[in-house]
Structure 1
């Protein structure tokens, strides 16, 4: 039977049950039916998992009573249903998660719907710490046997998407389930997931986890940049980290770098940063997309200072500091640059 047929039939059955609910709930119709789970199996059979969770509630059935008959999507709706208070109850969460974590297929489906539902509800974290701890620990325990076969894309899915609203509960001890022989890209995928959460919830345990993961990176593996890793560093130190992190080929990371440099005296910070980046016998490689971003952001910062530039400044910027990114200099930038300068500085540019 086609999926759409199953859904249509389920709707008809549900409509009938709701209309004649008192009859179907009467002792005569409940003969040999022990509980709500049995009642659901008898009256909806294999179509029970095609009914919206909200519609099941119209049958005066509690989700936990029929947990074994619910689909992964229905279990997500049960958890997020504010009337059940599930996200404030460790016992309920444990029961729901225990019902889906035994099967990788059920688990994957559950988190597919969980991510969709939390996004739609604009949930960025599970607020109850005990509940969040329980959800994450049970999930990591279930994932542990699968980690050894994970590709980088799997680590990206779980640590950057599926576990996003739970990762604030990650503790250094939790990392023991992650194999140490995974690839550099896989380590980086996990760290980027932590960085996404740290950007909104700088939990101490999560900071420690990031530090521990960085220590386990394979030789030659570059550490991805995040705002937290830049705190307290000078622009020169940020430049060194940029050169060693792969940020010159990653638009997201270079935007993070400039977000940091724009704090405080942006002109002085960018001046020191670019001086350090270009202060080598050989210019580093940089992708065109990153070069465009650096040129645009730098121009926005330094152009307001052009009226105070003397010839030495024009020399320093256009012959040294900007040399790495000048191929991204545009006609619009040039027009603004030379609009109020004399012939000497014009020739420098």
Structure 2
């Protein structure tokens, strides 16, 4: 309802539920408990939000509530909209990571009476044939009983309660603010600059793969962008020293200085820090890593991607600007022929475009 009245483009967070046959799902009433965050893929939702904020488009899963599974994917494009809404009961789970990435404009929860929420939820669920009528009624009663506790928890997480009319008005204000910020950046607002080091781990692709070389990418906790192992230089530290230290901290691997080959010095917009440019010293290595690699420190997960592709594999998320604009093109040139290494309380969370 907020989306329809405000005219602001939106991402439906319900599309990021996990499939019903997932054995790790919590259960209640003899079925998966879809009202707990554990039934929802927060990492995929965050990756999609990050891509929308930075790129204006993202691949989104299409989820059938009645079938309790994903049925495909669809491309969501928001064009040049300065603001969009992430709407769903689990919006509160994304407040902290979006705020840390500078992508959160406001966190809103509609403040409605228990009977109104119960009736609106039941009508929606019946219209969409989400589950059988007895289950929908039983679930609705349970949610109505816990609505007060949910509201307290949402407020503690940072959601601000608004009436429907006030929420629509607030969204209009946020759109105006976002447009003003965009104009300020366009006329040359100063950016912070960071000095970092990054390491590109390379390996030969598995036999039979269409590509030849793969690159290790990592994602930090609370972010949706994929990048290289690395980080900021400590005071008095050289780029090579920082690269070796970051590799040990994040992967648990100990390399020698001679294991690193310089790829280049590059400038790019930071993937996870607003109004920031990174100056990166990038190194490559073909040092062996354990087959069962476990990322550590601030890293959440890792993925090997083909060097000859400019986008993340489907459903993975987005690649950092430094990676797309500089690292991958440089690696393709270096790895080419001749190189020696070549082989419902309704919750709406508006999110700012980067």
More helix by share: 1
- Structure (1/2) with the larger strand percentage: 2
Scaled by the length of structure 1, the TM-score of the pair is 0.18
TM-score (norm 2): 0.18
